[in-house]
Amino acid sequence: MANDSASKLTNELRYDGRVAIVTGAGNGLGRAHALLLGARGAKVVVNDLGGDIHGGGKSSAAADQVVAEIKAAGGSAVASYDSVEDGAQIVQAALDHFGRVDIVINNAGILRDSSFVKMSADDWDLIYRVHVLGAFRVTHAAWPHMRNQGYGRIIMTTSAAGIYGNFGQANYSMAKMGLIGMANTLAIEGAAKNVLVNTIAPLAGSRISETVMPPQMLEALKPEYVAPLAAYLCHESSKENGSLFEVGAGFHAKLRWERTRGRHFQGQAFGPEEVAQRWQEIVDFDDATYPRNIGESLMSIVQGVDSSFGQGKP
């Protein structure tokens, strides 16, 4: 038993000397991220505006409580009460208190659920501003510091609603899918400077999920079951980059794009009738491909054009 304990201690992933920003860290997932990183040696900026799940109000209590928990456990943390729309101020808090920023977990979020026919412009705009614009502003402020020091780990938080769609969440789905696209591009741009960017789609009990999940499901979906994946992706030993993960209730899985072989209409005029005729080939996933980047995506199209040039039949 002693040997097992020693082995676990030796293999523990630590974040000593690292500075982490966690947005929306006053409750739920953000709190779980902040507490785990703080317990493993990271200095944590606990950011939370302290508003409700619909984006209203403001309070310092939530962030202060998490800071107090981290300090009580022997860690180091400071509170930030700024909106993520003021991302530069959140990053400045990390620089002022700890002198650097190594990790950003963009977790802050709200809901404004409504069927599309009833959705207001304010419902759309506020979701965009908190989820997408907020993540941009925090990340954009941290980006040059990470590039200059040759190290950074960034997590975007998406949702199954963004990946698959969900009734009544057109605004939320838009924002969450947008974060995946932003993360994928930042992963490409940051790789040479060891700034790695990944996206998680968590399923966990929170103030947001309370509105859409039954109590028995919430009980099984502890935020603590999500935080270890986020923490691993933020560790210096992880080289994962540009990836998307679904995680919750102890389940961890990586997602990737899948595409059919498709059908080339080889250089001659064609119309909807020809598309209809070949429809089963266009939608057949039995022999699927898995493009990993934009180059692989375009290559199969270009190769198809090259190989078909001059041929007369579809």
Residue 140's pLDDT is: 99
For residues 267 and 160, membership in a common domain is answered with no
Count of domains observed in the chain: 2
For residues 188 and 204, membership in a common domain is answered with yes
Instruction: State pLDDT tens for residues 268-297.
Output: 789 999 999 999 999 999 999 999 999 999
- CA separation for the pair 30, 245 (Å, rounded): 17
Tokens representing 150 are 């040759």
Instruction: State pLDDT tens for residues 201-214.
Output: 998 876 555 666 67
For residues 183 and 288, membership in a common domain is answered with no
For residues 241 and 268, membership in a common domain is answered with no
For residues 263 and 236, membership in a common domain is answered with no
| Residue-range definition of the domain harbouring residue 200 | 2-255
Residue from 207, 162, 33 nearest 104 by CA? 33
Element (DSSP H or E) covering residue 45: strand 43-47
Which of 221, 239, 255 is the last residue before a domain boundary?
Answer: 255
CATH code of 159's domain: 3.40.50.720
Active site residues: 172
Q: Are 37 and 20 in contact (CB under 8 A)?
A: yes
Instruction: State pLDDT tens for residues 75-133.
Output: 999 999 999 999 999 999 999 999 999 999 999 999 999 999 999 999 999 999 999 99
